[in-house]
Structure 1
């Protein structure tokens, strides 16, 4: 009988969402996690993104989270360059076209809101670039798809470059106080209850 394992990991900036390295000086999940060899990440966060990553050796979880028909929301805190305009942000709920690998896709935000005050987050290492003449702001956005760099492309489409992106939840699974670079094991009932 196979025993399934489930882990939450707070992926730091600059870490690949895989156990192998593409270049010897890159950091990968192997640098942070000591898990059974058959455990793998469910979905990805690009190297420049931070936050909640789920890992497991249970193949049923992969389809539960990633299959488009399940429409599982993923929520992000995003630091953007500039002061957000509410009307522009609402365009994301109506839908914007983004280009991925030469194809255009119409994508929408489920929810979007300006965070005021800014969320309390640990400083990024290395720090984001700071420009005295250009303000920055934080927003919270939820999507139920997971196209390559989707949130970054959506915000770029309405004129807001992303400075920092942190996934804070997948369904009802939350990052909460899990520190950057740390993981915790959870049980299947906790996981499945969070994915409904």
Structure 2
């Protein structure tokens, strides 16, 4: 049968696609990688059909691989006999836990895997932070990959969990920076002052050279 990777968008349940909503409502089981994804899914399906899966916040590749394989072992039996969904903030194919689960699911030949795109941070941040991408290339990466010291004039860093260190690196590289924390959520913040932000997984930094962000 089928496992659907469903993108929930940037945080506002109203930004879930019609297709994503329909599949969550149809799925016998909905799996979520954390509280926020489970909360958004809960807007569309009963809580008893939602199961949270645990993924450690670590860079230890062996621990991460073990978590993905354990998640596949949980999801596979339900997906082999019915329709299930794995929901994720943003888009399932863009810096998402779902891409790792999808690779782990290749061992289970009886399960078809399909992706339902969601509004990703790559499009949502421009509206939330009132910036325009209309000229020249933009470097997009997770913050842990580091700052491009000789990169393009525009850079978007995702998952900025250490705002202070990131800001120091970006300004040293000649960038002006605007930050967005928990965009399209109830406690969203957009600021150029990094000291006003608490460290948060759902923080992005948009940096530009030679002009105000």
Q: TM-score, normalised by structure 2?
A: 0.26
Higher helix share: 2
Between structure 1 and structure 2, the one with the greater Rg is 2
Q: Which structure ranks higher in relative contact order (CA pairs < 8 Å, sequence separation ≥ 6)?
A: 1
Q: TM-score, normalised by structure 1?
A: 0.27
Higher strand share: 1
